[in-house]
Amino acid sequence: MSDTKENIIGLADELIRKRGFNAFSYNDIAVPLAVRNAAIHYYFPAKSDLGEAVIEVELRRVEEYRRGSERLTGEEQLKLLVGVFRRNNKLRMICLMGSLTPDYDTFEVPMRRKVKEMCLSILDWVAESLEKARGEGKLQFEGEAGDRALLVISTLLSSLLLSRVLGTNIFERMLDQLLQDMRADWRVKDIKL
């Protein structure tokens, strides 16, 4: 991949996380990168093409996290996930899933498919981690791990959103309560960044 294309994708990712997909234009990418809008259109004829490319990079990142954490305990995998969200919170950025899902109905069908693929991939990883941690005796919760994964992800997503309005400490408060509810013996402050 060319440096220009990578830089376009990287800046688009940042803009999506800070503003949302529908709140930036190609000009918001062209000016900081000192390229013409035509250069962006060369790589990404439609904005949805750019959105799909950003999601594809995120899918690879999630897969790398997943492969890299296979040998970790379920608890360590969850700490890794919470650490990623904690870092986003400190940067006052929303995760890609949390930024894209509100605008889902405005996307072209191929981009919707990519958003759904990303959501399912992350939920699947979280469910596996939760089930593994429960099997290790590190977490306690009722019901299916997939259903609990939905609750964990929704807490992570909403904690980032609410932290923007109510202060970054909201993230820790919400996640610590969730961890307490699942009988985890660790809290957000225990995760090293």
- Whether residue 1 is predicted with pLDDT greater than 80 in this model: the reply is no
In the chain, what are the domains? 49-190 (1.10.357.10)
Q: What is the pLDDT of residues 22-72, one digit of tens each?
A: 999 999 999 999 999 999 999 999 999 999 999 999 999 999 999 999 999
Pair 110, 50: CB distance under 8 Å = no
pTM for the predicted model, two decimal places: 0.92
Q: What is the pLDDT of residues 115-150, one digit of tens each?
A: 999 999 999 999 999 999 999 999 999 999 999 999
Closest by Cα among 37, 38, 36, 40 to 10 = 40
Residue 123 has what pLDDT?
96
Give how far Cα 103 sits from Cα of 9, 22, 23, Å.
Answer: 19, 7, 10
* Mean per-residue pLDDT over the chain, rounded: 95
Torsion sign, CA atoms 172, 125, 191, 185: positive
